[in-house]
């Protein structure tokens, strides 16, 4: 599924409760997406249908702007950048503190990179599950 990195215009084609199916026209945000750049989706002007939370009560036939929910975006940034950084720093601090007691030279470096690798793997898995969930939202109704 394509998820626009910036708001994208589309037409509501179906509703299912508070979920709207929106047909995107494959605009600039779509062509700039990482998936489009490596050919995983149809970004060459062909229409695509995505699902988005319809918190603004758009109706079928309305032109809407869809984008990534800000809460999801912030969580993704934290998972991608902050968690690995803090794990790296925390591992280094633990290694500096435990190194003299365990008589292991370079434990700070080993534990820092170990924390970075482990947290990066965990963060990557959480990011994949976050991407698989419905994280698009109708940001505005144009009609």
Q: Is the pTM of this model over 0.75?
A: no
Residue 136, pLDDT above cutoff 70: yes
Tens digit of each residue's pLDDT (9 = 90 or more) over 66-84: 888 888 888 889 999 999 9
136 exposure class (CB count in 10 Å sphere: 0-12, 13-18, 19+): buried
Number of Cβ atoms within 10 Å of the Cβ of 71: 10
Per-domain residue ranges of the chain: 8-69+134-141, 71-131
Lowest-confidence pick of 30-34, 62-66, 79-83 = 30-34
> So what's the pLDDT on residue 33?
62
Q: Please indicate whether residue 132 or residue 111 has the higher confidence score (pLDDT).
A: 111
Give the end-to-end CA distance of the chain in Å, rounded to a whole number: 26
Tens digit of each residue's pLDDT (9 = 90 or more) over 112-124: 999 999 999 999 9
């Amino acid at each position: 599924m394509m998820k626009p990195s910036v708001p994208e215009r589309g037409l509501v084609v179906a509703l299912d409760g508070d979920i709207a199916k929106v047909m995107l026209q494959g605009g600039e945000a779509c062509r700039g997406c990482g998936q489009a750049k490596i050919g995983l989706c149809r970004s060459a002007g062909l229409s695509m249908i995505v699902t988005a939370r319809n918190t603004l009560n758009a109706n079928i036939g309305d032109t809407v702007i869809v984008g990534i929910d800000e809460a999801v975006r912030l969580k993704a940034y934290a998972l991608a950048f902050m968690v690995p950084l803090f794990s790296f720093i925390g591992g280094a601090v633990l290694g500096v503190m435990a190194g003299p007691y365990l008589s292991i030279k370079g434990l700070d470096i080993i534990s820092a990179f170990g924390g970075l690798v482990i947290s990066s793997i965990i963060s990557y898995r959480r990011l994949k599950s976050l991407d698989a969930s419905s994280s698009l939202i109708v940001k505005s109704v144009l009609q």
